[in-house]
Amino acid sequence: MELSLDQLDPVLDTLRRARRILAITGAGISADSGLPTYRGVGGLYNDAATEDGLAIEDALSGSMFDVRPDLTWKHIFDIEKACRDASPNPGHSVLAAWESRFDHVCVFTQNVDGFHRAAGSSHVIDIHGDTRDLFCPRCDWRDVVDDYAHLDPLPRCPKCNAVIRPRVVLFGEMLDPAKVADLDHHLDQGFDIVFAIGTSALFPYIVQPVFDAVRAGIPTVEINPQTTDLSHLVTHKIRAGAADALTLLSDGLAG
């Protein structure tokens, strides 16, 4: 059934009264940009095992990077290549445009594609990092690149020749404490509505803000064509793709 504006009236009523918005996004919001909704780093990878016979969680782990960085880089290149020719879609653009309508719009994303910032969002907590942000674990070298087209299969630091890596959270690694603290700061300021957009709700730290909002009586909205562990908890469930639902919400606010 095609989504209609009438179906979104309860969400629109809440949005019209809201001043502060938290949008928690997963791989589903980038699916409309042509990215597959993989599992893995930032929600990118699908098959249970790689062509090397390893689970993707093992291939893309911090411990594997320590002993076989070439193997980990092989799959990081696959992730970056999937993002390279894609660009932000209307869903990303709506969240960025809402910054001019609401007092504060915070985007808390598990995606590593950088599309929220590229679309213009200024308050982005990319809890899993960004593939374009490269650094050297040995020295202080770092760089931000547009893509990996110029990189060697096993990229090395131009200063100390150590193997470099993107600033992303690999399996088995801790989240960036500064980003966790940033999220906590935003949560302490409070939100009038919390969205969960295109996330399969697999990571506890991704869905915890939704649980907290539900307990506090703050309106919550899930945008996802699939049923997740959040679907029975949220105030409103929009069973649609992110770009379609957000565009329709934006149109409703403008009308």
In the chain the domains, ranked by start, together with CATH numbers, are: 1-35+88-128+174-255 (3.40.50.1220), 36-85+134-168 (3.30.1600.10)
| pLDDT tier for residue 177 given thresholds of 50, 70 and 90 | very high
Cα gap 11→98, rounded to integer Å: 15
With a cut of 80, say whether residue 207 has pLDDT above it: yes
Nearest C-alpha neighbor of 244 from the set 20, 28, 14, 17 = 28
With a cut of 50, say whether residue 40 has pLDDT above it: no
pLDDT (mean) for 61-81? 93
Cα gap 80→130, rounded to integer Å: 10
* Per-residue b or e along 223-233, where b marks 16 or more CB atoms closer than 10 Å to that residue's CB: bbeeebebeeb
With a cut of 90, say whether residue 50 has pLDDT above it: no
pLDDT at 53: 75
Question: Do β-strands 142-144 and 193-197 pair in parallel, antiparallel, or remain unpaired?
Answer: unpaired
Q: What is the pLDDT of residues 86-129, one digit of tens each?
A: 899 999 999 999 999 999 999 999 999 999 999 999 999 999 99
pLDDT at 167: 95
Cβ neighbours, 10 Å, residue 111: 30
The catalytic residues are 128
- HSE-CB at 115 with a 13 A cutoff on CA atoms is 32
pLDDT at 57: 85
| pLDDT tier for residue 44 given thresholds of 50, 70 and 90 | very low
pLDDT at 38: 56
- HSE-CB at 187 with a 13 A cutoff on CA atoms is 19
DSSP bridge partners of 108: 24, 125
With a cut of 70, say whether residue 5 has pLDDT above it: no
Question: Rounded to two decimals, what is the model's pTM?
Answer: 0.92
Higher pLDDT, 145 or 46: 145
Give percent of the chain above pLDDT 90: 75
- Min mean pLDDT across 5-19, 35-49, 179-193 is at 35-49
